[in-house]
Amino acid sequence: MKAKNILKRFGTLLLVFLLGISGMTMTALASGKIDLGRQGSLSVYFGENGIGFSDVAFSIYRVAGISEEGTYTLTGDFAQYPVRLENLDSSGWRALAQTLDAYVARDGIVPITTRKTEQNGRFQLTGISVGLYLVTGEQYVDGSIVYTPEPILVSMPGLDADDEWDYSVEASCKFDQEDTADSSVSRKVQKVWKDDGNETKRPEEIMVQLLENGNVVDTVVLNQKNNWEYVWNDLDSRSKWQIVEAKVPNGYTVTMAQEGNVFVLTNTYPRKQPPTLPQTGMLWWPVPILACAGLALLITGLILRRKQGDPHEK
């Protein structure tokens, strides 16, 4: 009996401890729901080493709406594009911004507003409704050096350091820097397929459009014969160069990420994801721990019971 009482008390304390941890963590991670009727402000900086680039024009586009829980849905002109917004890391968001920027340039999508940076390299917008925004900027030229701001995707609201919704968002533009002392540059495109188990769905070839300052100036075919890659040489160093996949294969999504003079064009065939647990505020990581603890208690109880029933046990 004494062993049983000890076992019972141990089990109770274990459950209380684990549930207590889950409750404290759940509270710490909660950030509440987004106020869909609230407006916010956005401040964007473009500069280097604390010196802002002034009089640079930026365009702002509303890419997606947002739910109270923080999930996005493509909206307006952007709803037509075969891209995904789920389960992206920082590099995924960066590639998505570059992809949408190229679509915007090719298709002439009209921004919701434009702004120019002030002397400190900043511009600010107020009265912004909630959603996901694409921010793109023109080049800044300093002598022979050309600074091309990377497009960025900004969520309104964002999350602050305490995981609370922040309706005053600040962003800083990264940029590509290129010396145009040489009058020409090269650009390379490489195709990557992410479709393990669905290779038969790939087309035999794809078509890639080269854009110069938003205008299509060349179209090339990529296939196995050219190892799914191509290089353009003798391009104007002062132009902004981008690429777009002319027609994305059925069922695939697309991203385009630029690294230096290389464009990595990726087509992904979505895998079927297992059903996820509903996000109702409950923290699920303690469940397997509790299950293991319960199993351990059950096994210990059976061992004690067997010992107590053994006629040779004294």
Domains 35-181 and 183-270 share a fold: yes
Q: pLDDT at residue 313 above 60?
A: no
Q: Write out pLDDT tens, residues 56-85.
A: 999 999 999 999 999 999 999 999 999 999
In the sheet with 241-245, reading across from the earlier edge strand, the strands are 215-223, 205-212, 241-245
Kindly state the average pLDDT of the residues 10-33.
45
pLDDT > 90 fraction of the chain, expressed in percent and rounded: 69
pLDDT at 105: 97
Q: In terms of Cα–Cα distance, which of 100, 35, 116, 17 is closest to 63?
A: 100
Amino acid type, 222: L
pLDDT at 180: 82
Domain ranges of the chain: 35-181, 183-270
pLDDT at 297: 58
For residues 40-55, b (16+ Cβ closer than 10 Å) or e, as one string?
bebebebbeeeebbbe
pLDDT band at 294 (very low <50, low <70, confident <90, very high): low
Backbone angles phi, psi at 84, to 5 degrees: -125, 150
Give the tokens for residue 279.
């996000």
pLDDT at 181: 81
Which of these ranges, 70-74, 124-128, 158-162, 165-169, has the smallest mean pLDDT? 158-162
Give the tokens for residue 22.
């889950």
Mean per-residue pLDDT over the chain, rounded = 84
Kindly state the average pLDDT of the residues 142-159.
94
Q: Which residue has the higher pLDDT, 77 or 313?
A: 77
pLDDT at 28: 35
Q: Which residue has the higher pLDDT, 200 or 15?
A: 200
Q: pLDDT at residue 120 above 70?
A: yes
pLDDT at 305: 59
Q: pLDDT at residue 12 above 70?
A: no
From the number of C-beta atoms within 10 Å of its C-beta (0-12, 13-18, 19+), residue 255 rates as buried
CATH of 183-270, one of 3.40.630.40, 3.30.830.10, 2.40.50.140, 2.60.40.1140: 2.60.40.1140
22 in Cβ contact with 286 (< 8 Å): yes
pLDDT > 70 fraction of the chain, expressed in percent and rounded: 76
pLDDT at 138: 96
Rounded CA-CA distance 127/276 in Å is 35
Q: pLDDT at residue 44 above 80?
A: yes
pLDDT band at 275 (very low <50, low <70, confident <90, very high): very low
225 in Cβ contact with 268 (< 8 Å): no
Q: pLDDT at residue 49 above 60?
A: yes
Q: pLDDT at residue 42 above 90?
A: yes
In CATH, the number for domain 35-181 is: 2.60.40.10
Q: Write out pLDDT tens, residues 220-273.
A: 999 999 999 999 999 998 899 999 999 999 999 999 999 989 999 999 998 765
Q: Report DSSP state, residue 202.
A: S
Give the tokens for residue 122.
């900043």
